[in-house]
Amino acid sequence: MFKQIEGSRAVAETVALCRPQVICAYPITPQTHIVEALGEMVKSGELAGCEFVNVESEFGALSVAIGASAAGARSYTATASQGLLFMAEAVYNASGLGLPIVMTIGNRAIGAPINIWNDHSDSMSMRDAGWIQLFAETNQEAADLHIQAFRLAEELSCPVMVCMDGFILTHAYDRIDLATQEQVDGWLPPYEPQQVLDPADPVSIGAMVGPDAFAEVRYLAHHKQLRALERIPVLSREFFKTFGRNSGGLLRTYHTDGAETVVVALGSVNGTIQEAVDELRADGVSIGSISICSYRPFPLADVQAALADAKRVVVLEKSLAVGLGGMLATDVQMAIQSRQRRVYTVIAGLGGRAITKVSLMDLFRQARRDALESVTFLDLNWDAITRQLARETAVRRSGPIAENILKDLGELSSRIA
C-alpha cells in the first residue's frame, strides 16, 4: 500500500509490523521522529504486546534492549551521532553477547563542533563493533531493511544497524510502499532466541573469558559475519518474492558493465550519483556506480566482481578517517588489491554539506582525466582554510576555528549549499 509519508514514519510503521516487544527511546536528532511515532503506536494500542521504555540516556537505551533481548524479547532502539558514541560500550557488548537487537541510525555528524546534520561518521565509528551494518539508499529501502534486519539478526544471533541518512531520508516525504501485517507475519517468524534468561532453565550469560578462549570468541563473531555474507543476498531474494521489491542485498551496481570509471558510495547519495552518471553517459563518458548496502560484513568478493572492468574507482565517503582519508576506500582497496587500479577517495557531504549533481559531474570528469588527488575533499572552501592556517601561523591563540570560518563566510543558514 502506497503512502506519501516521511521516511521516519515509514520506518516506524514498518518496525511496528515486525511486532517488537521492547522499544527503548532516547531523543536525538534526526532519529527522534521514529521513536516518537512508535511511542504513539504503543500508547494508542495500535502496537500491542510491546513495552515502550523512555530511558535516561542512549547508554541506558541499548542496555535496556540488551536485557530485553537476553530475556527473549524482540528488541529495538534508534539513535544517531553523539548518542551512538555514548552507547558505544553497550554496542560492543550487545554483539559480544550475540543479542539480535535491531537499531536504526539516523546518520549524523559527530562534534565538536556540534553539528546536527548528516554524514556517516557515527556509523563508521562503530563499524568494527561486531554489528551488521546495512545502509539504505532510499526511504523505501530503509523501511524494507528493518524487516530483513530482524530476520537476519535473529537467524544469526547478531545485532543489526540499519543506517539511513539523517534529514535527507529521515525527514524526507516520499512515496512509500508499506508492507502489510500479513506479509510481515508470513515472512518474519517469531523470535526464537539462541540463549535466553529463563528461571526454568538457568544459564549464566556474559562470563568473563580469558586469553584461553577470547580469541576464539572473537573469531566466531567474525565467522558469524561471514555467514551473514551468504544470508543477506538470500534474504533479499526471498524478500522480493513476498514483497515484490528489490531491497537490501550486499550491493547494487549501476551501469558498471564495461565502465572505465566506477563510483562507490553508501546510502542516499547514490541517487544523485546515478543522476550524474546518466548525464555523463549521455555525454559518452564510460562510468557506472555501486551502492553498497552491506558495509559490515563487507562484501569483498562482490565488490571485486563489480569492479572487474573498472579502470579506476572513485570512492565517495560521507566520513573522514582523519590522518588517512577514507574508510570505505580502504575496504575497496582490499577488495581489489590483487589488481592495480587507481582508487580515489573523495570526502563529501560532511556535517550536512549538500552534495550536488553539478559538483559530482565535475568531480567525475576530473577523475576520468585522473586529475584527482588520491584523497579529495569535495566543495571545500579553500579560501577559508588558507585564511585560518595563515592566522594560526601568525598568532598562537588564533581562536576557535569554526567561529573564525563562519566569520569569513558570513551567515550560512540562508544559503543553499
Q: Tell me the C-alpha distance between 378 and 344, whole Å.
A: 12
Instruction: Choose which of 76, 131, 150, 167 interacts with another protein (CB under 8 A).
Output: 167
The cell numbers describing 241, all together, are: 518474492
Say whether residue 22 binds another protein (CB under 8 A).
yes
Radius of gyration (Cα) for the chain, nearest Å?
22
Choose between 21 and 304: whose C-beta lies nearer to another protein.
21
Which residues make Cβ contacts (< 8 Å) with residue 337, sequence separation at least 6? none
Instruction: Choose which of 39, 72, 111, 233 interacts with another protein (CB under 8 A).
Output: 72
- By CB under 8 A, the residues from 386 to 415 that bind another protein are 413-415
Stretch that binds another protein, among 47-55, 125-133, 255-263, 366-374 (CB under 8 A): 47-55
- By CB under 8 A, the residues from 52 to 71 that bind another protein are 53-57, 59-60, 63-71
Q: Tell me the C-alpha distance between 277 and 360, whole Å.
A: 9
Q: Tell me the C-alpha distance between 276 and 180, whole Å.
A: 35
Residue 323, phi-psi category: left (phi > 0), alpha (psi -120 to 50), beta (remainder): left
- By CB under 8 A, the residues from 102 to 141 that bind another protein are 116-118
Judge contact between 254 and 274, C-beta under 8 A.
yes
Peptide bond into 100 cis (omega under 30): no
CB of 190 to another protein, least distance (A): 11
CB of 49 to another protein, least distance (A): 6
Stretch that binds another protein, among 121-129, 193-201, 258-266, 382-390 (CB under 8 A): 193-201
- By CB under 8 A, the residues from 137 to 166 that bind another protein are 157, 165
Say whether residue 4 binds another protein (CB under 8 A).
yes
Stretch that binds another protein, among 92-100, 235-243, 306-314, 394-402 (CB under 8 A): 92-100
The cell numbers describing 279, all together, are: 548525464
Judge contact between 266 and 346, C-beta under 8 A.
no
For the sheet with 132-135, list strands across it: 51-54, 22-25, 75-79, 102-107, 160-165, 132-135, 294-296
Stretch that binds another protein, among 179-187, 317-325, 335-343, 348-356 (CB under 8 A): 348-356
Say whether residue 358 binds another protein (CB under 8 A).
yes
Number of residues that bind another protein (CB under 8 A): 87
SS3 2: strand
Instruction: Choose which of 246, 286, 333, 356 interacts with another protein (CB under 8 A).
Output: 356
Q: Between vectors from CA 356 to CA 408 and to CA 308, what angle results, nearest 5°?
A: 125
Instruction: Choose which of 43, 128, 181, 205 interacts with another protein (CB under 8 A).
Output: 205
At how many degrees (to 10) do helices 357-368 and 269-282 cross?
60
CB of 398 to another protein, least distance (A): 27
- By CB under 8 A, the residues from 307 to 336 that bind another protein are none
Say whether residue 274 binds another protein (CB under 8 A).
yes
Choose between 63 and 343: whose C-beta lies nearer to another protein.
63
Choose between 204 and 340: whose C-beta lies nearer to another protein.
204
Choose between 191 and 298: whose C-beta lies nearer to another protein.
191
Judge contact between 365 and 352, C-beta under 8 A.
no
Instruction: Choose which of 354, 375, 385, 401 interacts with another protein (CB under 8 A).
Output: 354
Q: Tell me the C-alpha distance between 91 and 359, whole Å.
A: 36
The cell numbers describing 73, all together, are: 524479547
Instruction: Choose which of 39, 111, 233, 271 interacts with another protein (CB under 8 A).
Output: 271
Judge contact between 235 and 251, C-beta under 8 A.
no
